[in-house]
């Protein structure tokens, strides 16, 4: 019977404009987002908050295999076309004959001009082995999906009424 009178009293107060604050949100209608700790953003997982990731082309190493020599450091000689010999004029005999190529010393290959014989070239897809993280556009943080970047959520206890 006591609760019946309390209920009627609360209805009366509500009808005349009295309002009780929600204990969960102190009447604000919103609560702090516990997922992002009210920041509205979270650290980007792929780049760990750095805004950049290792380049997939060079795996962060800054160097890639030279495409000109396939990483060998040598390419086919342009003078003898890789044969090691070329048909040249022999001044001693006064006729043309096959002679050792003086460009490649008869090897048929010369040092690669693209990589200077290293077999690797600088990766052109990145900057010192890193590229911008596409998930966070280089910011290092992403919007919290739970609160949609607001940092707060509607109080579930009072449905945002306070």
Task: Supply the CATH number for residue 81's domain.
Answer: 2.10.230
The structure tokens listed for 100 are 């050792």
In a domain, 92, yes or no: yes
Cβ(112)–Cβ(69) below 8 Å: yes
How many other CB atoms sit within 10 Å of the CB of residue 135?
14
Tens of pLDDT, residue by residue, the chain (162 residues): 555 555 555 555 555 555 568 887 888 888 888 888 889 999 999 999 999 999 999 999 999 999 999 999 999 999 898 898 887 777 888 788 888 998 999 999 999 999 999 999 999 999 999 999 999 999 999 999 988 999 888 888 888 787
Strand partners, 100: 85
Give the pLDDT confidence score for residue 37 in this predicted structure.
86
Our count of domains for the chain comes to 1
Give the pLDDT confidence score for residue 3 in this predicted structure.
55
What angle (nearest 5°) sits at the alpha carbon of residue 10, between those of residues 6 and 12? 115
In a domain, 41, yes or no: no
Q: The domain containing residue 118 runs over which residues?
A: 63-122
In a domain, 72, yes or no: yes
In a domain, 147, yes or no: no
SS3 of the chain: CHHHHHHHHHHHHHHCCCCCCCCCCCCCCEEECCCCCCCCEEECCCCCCCCEEECCCCCCCCEEECCCCCCCCEEECCCCCCCCEEEEEECCCCEEEEEECCCCCCCCEEECCCCCCCCEEECCCCECCEEECCCCCCCCEEECCCCCCCCEEECCCCCCCC
Give the pLDDT confidence score for residue 29 in this predicted structure.
85
Give the pLDDT confidence score for residue 16 in this predicted structure.
52
């Amino acid at each position: 019977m006591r609760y019946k009178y309390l209920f009627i009293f609360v209805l009366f107060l509500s009808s005349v404009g009295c309002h009780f604050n929600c204990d969960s949100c102190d009447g604000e209608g919103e609560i702090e987002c516990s997922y992002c700790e009210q920041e509205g953003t979270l650290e980007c997982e792929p780049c760990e908050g750095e805004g950049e990731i290792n380049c997939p082309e060079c795996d962060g190493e800054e160097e890639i295999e030279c495409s000109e020599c396939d990483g060998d450091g040598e390419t086919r000689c342009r003078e003898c076309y890789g044969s090691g010999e070329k048909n040249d004029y022999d001044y001693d005999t006064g006729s043309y004959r096959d002679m050792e190529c003086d460009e490649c010393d008869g090897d048929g290959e010369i040092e690669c001009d693209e990589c200077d014989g290293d077999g690797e070239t600088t990766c052109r897809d990145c900057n010192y082995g890193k590229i911008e993280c596409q998930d966070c556009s280089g910011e290092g943080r992403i919007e919290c999906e739970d609160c949609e970047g607001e940092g707060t959520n509607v109080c579930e206890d009072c449905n945002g009424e306070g």
